[in-house]
């Protein structure tokens, strides 16, 4: 398998037709798109159909598109590629894809080495007068990306003439020329070659839809058997716990009846109800109680308007004498001006 593409197991999408969803995991989006372009160009060579999936923008809304940040509804996801075809053709395509991607990346590395050799030559001195180490690192990185793009564009163009370098221009502007030189030196990349053992390995990974459905049903059946086993274990635990409790109760009843001389009047465990096992309940995690915001009982009573009445006897026992703040009888004047009931 190649490090530039992830190839999941192909699945049957129709009678005699299989589909695979390729993923290009390169860290750089531009590099992943170049790998996507290689896979797209290779699909036409092997007679399979390729399509780029559509990715929906999760931030999209009518408001964001019209009056917000101008978010689009979605775009083509160039990190993925869906390929459909006959089983044999698709297997040959997948076997050739890993080899072609590795070969194209190797050619891009050779182009960067040619760029490094040019930087150390006398012909580069007039062009490096205003360049330093940091800018040259950027030049090298951009040169590799441009050379890889030129190699991807030239995958189907075989036998083209190799152009000559122009010494009056810096080499980072002539990435197409260096890519053509490297292609001519190595003999290019054979797009149709596919090792037979790799084709057989990809054919073995292709599983029909009937087998996929059978695997799904087998997983569901295994889950059902596991649930039944757990339920049987739970019932057995309840039965053992009930027997242990009944045994302890019988021993206590027998000891009490023997002590009272009534062992013949009340048979042991005669009226015990049958074992009832409750259904399993989902366990809900309990949160630790929080004491923040709680009020003392007397504070809560005061805030709610409740009045606590203390009997005079309790106050006398507490203070040892008759309290002087007890309510006395109302005077005649107060009774006189009191409102009528």
**Global confidence as pTM:** 0.56
Instruction: Locate 328 and state its tokens.
Output: 């006395």
Tell me how far apart the alpha carbons of residues 337 and 333 are, in angstroms, rounded to a whole number: 6
Region of poorest pLDDT, from 17-31, 65-79, 283-297: 283-297
Model pLDDT, residue 291: 56
Q: In the chain, how many domains are there?
A: 1
Model confidence at 165, in pLDDT bands (50, 70, 90)? confident
Model pLDDT, residue 81: 92
Residue 192: CB partners within 8 Å, gap ≥ 6?
45, 46, 96
Taking the alpha carbons of 62, 66, 69, 70 in that order, is the dihedral positive or negative? positive
Residue 336 falls inside a structural domain: no
The enclosing H or E element of 303 equals helix 297-304
Model pLDDT, residue 72: 78
Is 60 or 311 the better-scoring residue by pLDDT?
60
Residue 248 falls inside a structural domain: no
* Cα pseudo-dihedral 125, 129, 133, 139, rounded to 10: -80
**pLDDT tens track for 172-189:** 888 888 888 888 888 778
Its domain, for residue 139, covers 11-207
Residue 15 falls inside a structural domain: yes
Cross-strand pairs, 20: 83
Residue 229 falls inside a structural domain: no
Cross-strand pairs, 82: 21, 51
For residue 95, which of 148, 57, 140, 45 has the smallest C-alpha distance? 45
Residue 311: CB partners within 8 Å, gap ≥ 6?
none
**pLDDT tens track for 188-243:** 788 888 888 888 888 888 876 666 677 778 888 888 889 888 888 888 888 888 88
Residue 326 falls inside a structural domain: no
Residue 178: CB partners within 8 Å, gap ≥ 6?
111, 114, 115, 143, 147, 165, 171
As a 3-state breakdown, the chain gives helix, strand, coil percent values, each rounded to 5, of 55, 10, 40
Contact 46, 192 (CB under 8 A): yes
Percent of the chain past pLDDT 90, that is, above it, reads 5
Model pLDDT, residue 83: 93
Alpha carbon distances (Å) from 158 to 161, 164, 165: 9, 18, 20
Give me the phi and psi of 198, to 5 degrees please. Answer: -70, -35
Model pLDDT, residue 269: 53
Contact 21, 82 (CB under 8 A): yes
Residue 329: CB partners within 8 Å, gap ≥ 6?
none
Residue 138 falls inside a structural domain: yes
3-state secondary structure 181-224: HHHHHHCCCCCCCCCHHHHHHHHHHCECHHHHHHHHHHHHHHHH
Tell me how far apart the alpha carbons of residues 176 and 154 are, in angstroms, rounded to a whole number: 9
Residue 26 falls inside a structural domain: yes
- The mean pLDDT of 79-91, rounded to a whole number, is 90
Residue 320 falls inside a structural domain: no
């Amino acid at each position: 398998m190649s490090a530039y593409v992830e190839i999941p197991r192909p699945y049957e999408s129709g009678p005699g037709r299989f589909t695979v969803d390729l993923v290009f995991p390169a860290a750089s989006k531009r590099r992943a798109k170049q790998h996507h372009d290689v896979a797209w160009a290779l699909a036409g060579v092997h007679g399979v159909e390729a399509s780029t999936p559509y990715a929906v923008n999760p931030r999209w809304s009518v408001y964001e598109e019209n009056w917000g940040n101008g978010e689009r509804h979605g775009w083509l996801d160039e990190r993925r590629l869906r390929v459909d075809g006959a089983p044999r053709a698709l297997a040959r395509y997948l076997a050739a894809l890993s080899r072609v991607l590795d070969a194209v990346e190797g050619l891009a590395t050779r182009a960067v080495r040619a760029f490094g050799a040019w930087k150390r030559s006398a012909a580069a001195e007039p062009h490096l007068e205003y360049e330093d180490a940091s800018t040259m690192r950027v030049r090298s990185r951009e040169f590799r990306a441009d050379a890889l793009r030129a190699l991807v564009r030239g995958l189907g163009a075989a036998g083209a003439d190799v152009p000559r370098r122009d010494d009056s221009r810096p080499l980072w502007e002539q990435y197409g020329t260096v890519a053509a030189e490297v292609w001519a030196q190595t003999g290019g990349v054979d797009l149709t070659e596919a090792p037979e053992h790799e084709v057989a390995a990809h054919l073995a990974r292709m599983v029909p839809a009937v087998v996929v459905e059978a695997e799904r049903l087998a997983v569901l059946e295994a889950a059902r058997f596991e649930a039944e086993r757990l339920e049987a274990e739970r019932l057995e635990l309840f039965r053992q716990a009930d027997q242990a409790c009944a045994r302890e109760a019988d021993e206590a009843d027998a000891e009490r009846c023997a002590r009272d001389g009534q062992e013949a009047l009340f048979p042991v465990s005669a009226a015990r109800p049958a074992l009832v096992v409750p259904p399993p309940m989902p366990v809900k995690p309990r949160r630790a109680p929080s004491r923040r915001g709680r009020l003392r009982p007397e504070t809560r009573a005061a805030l709610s308007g409740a009045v606590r009445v203390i009997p005079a006897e309790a106050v006398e026992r507490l203070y040892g004498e008759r309290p002087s703040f007890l309510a006395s009888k109302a005077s005649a004047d107060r009774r006189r001006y009191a409102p009528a009931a």
